[in-house]
Structure 1
């Protein structure tokens, strides 16, 4: 990941923070934070899980989701609910620790679409 982050341009998700610490924040000049409301996040996770459970669509590593999986402590619906506040707090703390990083803090899907559209016309 160090080699990856030394490139001139890169895009990644923050899911690697546990393994990398603040490495990506230390090397980034801009972070786009899609900070959707809990109700939006939960609606999307639940809708996706319902579809996956009904269709039994093949996921990664040969996995398929079933309604029975919803009882698992690490199911995406439970994970999204229990980790929501922690992830928001941790991202806020990282932004505070790295004041030289420009944080584009988007709160809605509409804001994200507008920002992406503006980047396409500016870039």
Structure 2
């Protein structure tokens, strides 16, 4: 299986994608980890696309890819067979984004090893790069884009799974460990 987990920042993509990868016994790949360098510097697009392609090729037996990065679609969706969209309501997504931002600012955990990148309350709530503001700004446009993608003939070769609540996501993961196994991915 080659799966891309997508959804607005704060929807729980990383947590869900890690659990899914563990359940399926395939590598977990985080686009943020491939993109972010030290001091919150992003990787230039050409190098980013190359890193994605090389990372996906390095796991020929399948993987779970975590992240949106709309501009990477041509590279990542060329390899993917399933898109799992965490489409939670705005209130739930915003709540999770705020809760995560506070937890990360308080813990000061390094987000991606070797980068030194840590979130702060100032950065998370009062800067132009605020992840909370990003969630507010992109929730509606992400929803429109993924709804359109599900019916776009260009993506008819992809299997879309739309999960609308944390309970649906938990049930979906549970279903993968049932006797029917991974056949749920093809529903």
TM-score normalized by the length of structure 2: 0.57
Question: Is the strand fraction higher in 1 or 2?
Answer: 2
RMSD of aligned alpha carbons: 2.2
Paired position in structure 1 for 2:136: 81
Q: 1:59 to 1:8 in 2, by over 3 A?
A: closer
Match of 2:119?
65
Residue in structure 1 matching 2:147, options 67, 87, 92: 92
| Structure 2: tracts of 5 or more residues without a match | 1-51, 183-187
Partner residue in 2 for 1:110: 167
Query: Is the contact between residue 42 and residue 81 of structure 1 (CA under 8 Å) also seen in structure 2?
Result: yes
Structure 2 residue 68 is the aligned partner of structure 1 residue 15: yes
Helix, strand or coil at the partner of 2:99: helix
More helix by share: 1
SS at match of 1:74: coil
Higher relative contact order (CA 8 A, sep 6+): 1
Per-residue CA deviations over 1:33-52 (Å, capped at 9, x if unaligned) read 11111111111111112223
More deviation in 83-92 or 108-117? 83-92
Q: Deviations over 1:3-39 (max 9, x none)?
A: 5258342221242431x33333343322111111111
Contact 1:34 1:108 in 2 (8 A): yes
Ranges in structure 1 where 5+ consecutive residues have no aligned partner: none
Q: How many residues align?
A: 122
Structure 1 partner of 2:100: 48
TM-score, normalisation: structure 1: 0.81
